[in-house]
Amino acid sequence: MPIDPRYSRDAAWKLLTEWTASESLRKHAVAVEACVAACGEAEADRLGLGGEEREEFLNLYATTALLHDFDYERHPTPEEHPFVGVRELERQGWPEAMRTAILGHAEYSGVPRTSHLAKVLFACDELAGFLTACALVKPSRSIADVEVAGVRKKMKDKAFARGVHREDVIKGAEELGVELDAHIAFCIEAMKKRAAELGL
């Protein structure tokens, strides 16, 4: 089936921007999308998906990433985020796989990350934020100048990007079954391809 326009990337973007005025939160959504969608492409290759099936699969990855924090600006507390957002997604009829993955990206929800999508979202969320922070301290402010070794070094610097939970970055790669350096390199490449959009 072709993608239902109600659940397309355009629809996700519209919902995200309706709820989120902050430019940095919107950029965070796109940075996570870049990484999650790239992981989705690799998984679609592995599964041998093509045609509409592949399109639908990739649309789910992209829209889930775009919407994972869409309620955060209005409902930032752990009592409400991402639960309020997920209720709204359910009301609008977004897929269950998306909603379960979004619940799973919040450790405190207690919802296990069993699907590849849920694991990927968790493995990319904090990392995309961290890579953005790493780019912004470069003189060029560009993701093109971010390297794995530098990222690993900054992960050990507790004063740097203090809001990013290093243990989630490490755990995320572990759950996904990928080596951390390889995952970091993969996400840097994914963000480089969307650098203009990310302003990095």
Binding site for Fe ion (CB under 5 A): 69, 125
Tell me which amino acid residue 106 is. A
Shorter beta-carbon distance to Fe ion: residue 3 or 170 = 170
How many whole angstroms separate alpha carbon 30 and alpha carbon 128? 9
If you search the block for the tokens 């490490």, which residue do you land on? Answer: 170
For Fe ion, give the closer residue by CB, 54 or 74. Answer: 74
Q: What are 150-154's contacts with CB under 8 Å, separation 24+?
A: 151/184, 151/188, 152/180, 152/181, 152/184, 154/130
Q: Please say which residue, 33 or 125, places its beta carbon nearer to Fe ion.
A: 125
Task: Closer to Fe ion by CB, 69 or 71: give it.
Answer: 69
Amino acid identity, position 136: L
Cα gap 70→121, rounded to integer Å = 14
Residue identified by tokens 């890579």 is 131
* Least distance (Å) between residue 85 CB and Fe ion: 11
Closest by alpha carbon to 117, among 78, 175, 170? 175
What are the DSSP E strand ranges found in the chain? none
**Least distance from Fe ion to the Cβ atom of residue 54, Å:** 25
In the bound complex, what is the minimum distance in angstroms from residue 121's beta carbon to Fe ion? Answer: 8
Tokens of 194: 């969307």
The least CB distance from residue 80 to Fe ion, in Å, is 15
CB of 82 to Fe ion, least distance (A): 9
33 versus 69: smaller Cβ distance to Fe ion = 69
